[in-house]
Amino acid sequence: MTISKEEILGLAEKLYPVQVKWRRRFHQYPELSNQEFQTTRFIKSEMARHKIRILPLKMKTGTVGLLNSRMKRAIAIRTDLDALSIQEATSLAFKSKNHGIMHACGHDIHMAVVLGTAILLNKLKDSIPAAVKFIFQPSEEMPPGGAADMIKAGVLKSPPVEMIFGLHTDPSVPTGKIGLRDGPIMASVTDFDITIMGKGGHAARPHIAIDAVVVAAEIVNSMQKIVSREINPLKPIVITFGSIEGGTARNVIAEKVVLRGTARTLSPDSLQRIPALIRRTVDGICRARGAKYELDFIAQYPVLSNHKMANLIFADACRDLFGRNRIIESPQSMGGEDFAFYLEKIPGAMFRLGVKNDRIGANKPWHASDFIADERSIFFGTALLSWSVLKYFERSL
């Protein structure tokens, strides 16, 4: 049986209303990284209801669905599950009921799209010449991320996955369009904590103390010289400190300060150099000032680099389904994504799903408390992923 694009569009349209209900449920009951218990149970229950095989997974949260398990080759589609520590400030009727937690990056849209794609393709599985895996991954938002754990748990094996597809909402791309870019598109991430241990004392007698605040300030300033003087300016990096904690009173010299930082680059070469440069800077300043330190590298994500063939499949599928002028070139971003770990192992790509709709205020940036996504994007994402799976096997047979 040959599957037509009209059939895919018809099935996606039919699924859309229930996907909106799922999305609103996910949005109302968001869960933080590695705490996605209710979300995981709901996804498993929906897959079980549609008789999609659920693979065993030795992880607290997350799950994997599988179509055509007897096949010897497979393609995979991945979504993330977790939300952010943000108090929602929208006026949506289905706004978050979990205080201080919000889907402000579109993972609720991702889940609705991928779960819908699983159910759509399950209806056509007898016409699909290989296996399809649906990876529902926890903890994208919190380092060290959930992708590496999923890979260790064997989600790319049995049957072996040949290519992986991913998606991410983009509030700068209008609904009905997608963004693509070959090669590096999202930065590597090196997250680190620095604890400075000095010697406390009275603010009026600094000469008999070791001021951890002053040492920390010197480290923050010196880190920017890594950016401006030690890295090739044609391969830029950014180092940001998002948190500084230390001190108890204005007249007490702080004994300890904790810095939490992140370094981003689109260059694999720069990524390899960053940890040593950070350590050298911290070590040199602390030695010079008589302080001690602890340096912990929390996580290091690789550069997310899209495979050209996967993007060609997305582009062909988009033009087939929706016509021309629906594809834009995505800009590179210093944001990070642990989908990059999968792309280190196998070819694949992540496309940007347009969710922008000025009329409803769906134009706020990721991680904003008033982030809104146009739900009509769910239809476009589901149809595109479903048709892309079929296009992949059409090309690779």
Residue 329 · residue 179 · CB < 8 Å: yes
pLDDT of the chain, 397 residues: tens digit per residue? 589 999 999 999 999 999 999 999 999 999 999 999 999 999 999 999 999 999 999 999 999 999 999 999 999 999 999 999 999 999 999 999 999 999 999 999 999 999 999 999 999 999 999 999 999 999 999 989 999 999 999 999 999 999 999 999 999 999 999 999 999 999 999 999 999 999 999 999 999 999 999 999 999 999 999 999 999 999 989 999 999 999 999 999 999 999 999 999 999 999 999 999 999 999 999 999 999 999 999 989 999 999 999 999 999 999 999 999 999 999 999 999 999 999 999 999 999 999 999 999 999 999 999 999 999 999 999 999 999 999 999 887 6
**Residue 2's pLDDT is what?**
84
Strand 161-174: give its sheet, edge to edge. Answer: 53-55, 63-67, 131-137, 74-80, 161-174, 348-356, 178-180, 327-329
DSSP secondary structure string, 52-67? -EEE---SSS-EEEEE
Residue 32 · residue 122 · CB < 8 Å: no
* Domain segments of the chain as ranges: 5-185+303-396, 188-301
**Orientation angle between helical segments 107-123 and 37-49, nearest 10 degrees:** 20
With residues binned 3-state (H G I as helix, E B as strand, rest as coil), the percentages for the chain, rounded to 5, are 40, 25, 35
268 Cβ contact list (under 8 Å, min separation 6): 188, 302, 303
Domain 188-301: which topology? Alpha-Beta Plaits (3.30.70)
306 membership: H or E segment, kind and range: strand 304-306
Q: Which CATH class is domain 5-185+303-396?
A: alpha beta
- Category of 127 on φ-ψ map: left (φ > 0), alpha (ψ -120 to 50) or beta: alpha
Sign of the CA dihedral with 387 first, then 391, 394, and 397 last = negative
Cα separation, 135 vs 147, whole angstroms = 10
pTM of the model: 0.94
Cα separation, 272 vs 155, whole angstroms = 27
Return the amino acid letter for 212. A
Residue 353 · residue 170 · CB < 8 Å: yes
**Residue 397's pLDDT is what?**
63
DSSP secondary structure string, 213-257? HHHHHHHHHHHHHIIIIIS-TTS-EEEEEEEEEE-S-TTEE-SEE
pLDDT tens digits, one per residue of 79-113: 999 999 999 999 999 999 999 999 999 999 999 99
Whole-angstrom CA distances from 178 to 114, 324, 363 are 16, 11, 15
